């Protein structure tokens, strides 16, 4: 009986060792899968970040171009306002000259009548 006791114990020990090894192997596979999934998620996040950075760069460049265009439009409007003011001044000068000529011709006409 003493020989069957240790062999039964050995069998139980071997079975436990086998179960522990199998559990460790399964745990290692789960960890490897988790790492693989984690690495894939990290890669997807990196890709998303790179895409967002590129989009931000494009938007920033577009905003800079818009600001430049707005500045150019403001300059054009200021120039147009200046031109309009000059034209209005010229028109006022011409009107004044016409009025002077008209009043001068009426004065000259009245001198001729005398």
| DSSP of 68-113 | HHHHHHHHHHHHHHHHHHHHHHHHHHHHHHHHHHHHHHHHHHHHHH
Q: What is the rounded distance in angstroms from the CA atom of residue 105 to the CA atom of residue 93?
A: 18
pLDDT in tens, 86-113: 999 999 999 999 999 988 766 555 555 5
pLDDT, one tens digit for every residue, the chain (114 residues): 445 556 878 878 888 888 888 888 887 777 777 777 778 888 899 999 999 999 999 999 999 999 999 999 999 999 999 999 999 999 999 999 999 998 876 655 555 554
pTM listed for this prediction:
0.45
């Amino acid at each position: 009986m003493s020989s069957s006791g240790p062999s039964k114990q050995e069998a139980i020990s071997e079975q436990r060792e086998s179960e522990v090894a199998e559990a460790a192997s399964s745990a290692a596979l789960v960890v490897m899968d988790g790492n693989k999934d984690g690495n894939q998620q990290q890669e997807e996040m990196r890709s998303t970040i790179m895409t967002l950075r590129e989009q931000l760069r494009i938007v920033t460049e577009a905003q800079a171009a818009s600001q430049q265009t707005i500045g150019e439009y403001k300059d054009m409007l200021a120039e147009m306002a200046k031109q309009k003011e000059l034209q209005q001044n010229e028109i006022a000068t011409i009107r004044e000259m016409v009025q002077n000529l008209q009043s001068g011709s009426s004065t000259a006409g009245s001198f001729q009548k005398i």
